[in-house]
Chains A and B, each alone.
Chain A
């Protein structure tokens, strides 16, 4: 059985640009303290940071849940936001619905979701327009991709 060794959930507040990224930084610190492989930590924190930024930019509220088992590191990012109408399009590099304000922050160039998918061994995105979006990303601990 894939027993949970560690689980933590963080609240993310929409539009709070000053604090955006603190959750990913905290996850990075925990993973380093746990002694995980540097490459895996790198992939996990990119996923966490991109997903956190998406919540901050688009949603009112959200959570990041980070779970570690013996075999895998899982990140689930759930938000109460506008949802995504066309998921395939949203996963296309370069496609973005970002506002000028988001671009001024350095984000919203259509790379966020593709970056999350690229760094995941397993990726799933469920979204309902008007309700919100949940991104699930998994990294196998024995993978080298």
Chain B
């Protein structure tokens, strides 16, 4: 599924990387714990989190996550968005909560991490 379709499905705002959301997403990792992301993300996964600090982006970069969606309308600060931009990681925000986002994406055919 393309990231742009996920964006529409979850009614996301795009904070950076909006010029190209054509990348294919097959797996998703969802957690506020960064070690969980590191342990369970396949490279190329979509990351869902409610943690908005710069470490969330650092973790996404280390875990080779393809894009980040922040949930519950939480918005990362400028430092985090800039780091994502430097590393070419699209950053999106949805007002939906974690449970609903996971359910919607699973119904749409996406799979979890390991």
Q: Within 8 Å of chain B (Cβ to Cβ): is A118?
A: yes
| Contact between chains at A107 and B64 (CB < 8 Å) | no
Q: Within 8 Å of chain B (Cβ to Cβ): is A49?
A: yes
Q: What is the number of residues of chain A that contact chain B, defined by CB distance less than 8 Å?
A: 24
Q: Assign chain B's interface to a size class.
A: 20 to 34
Q: Which residues of B contact A115 (CB under 8 A)?
A: 35, 38-39
Chain B CB within 10 Å — which of A28, A53, A111 has the most?
A111
Q: Decide: A50 near B38, CB < 8 A? Known: A25-B61, A38-B43, A106-B33.
A: yes
Q: Within 8 Å of chain A (Cβ to Cβ): is B88?
A: no
| Contact between chains at B58 and A25 (CB < 8 Å) | yes
Q: Within 8 Å of chain A (Cβ to Cβ): is B82?
A: no
| Contact between chains at A106 and B59 (CB < 8 Å) | yes
| Contact between chains at A49 and B38 (CB < 8 Å) | yes
The digit string for A1-20, where 1 denotes a CB below 8 A from any CB of B, is 00000000000000001101
Q: Within 8 Å of chain A (Cβ to Cβ): is B32?
A: yes
| Contact between chains at B36 and A109 (CB < 8 Å) | yes
Residues of B bordering A, CB below 8 Å: 32-36, 38-39, 43, 49, 51, 53-56, 58-59, 61-64, 79
Q: Please list 15 pairs of residues, one from A and one from B, whose beta carbons are closer than 8 Å in the complex, sorted by A's number.
A: A17-B55, A18-B79, A20-B58, A21-B55, A25-B61, A28-B62, A49-B58, A49-B59, A105-B53, A106-B32, A106-B59, A109-B33, A110-B35, A115-B35, A115-B38
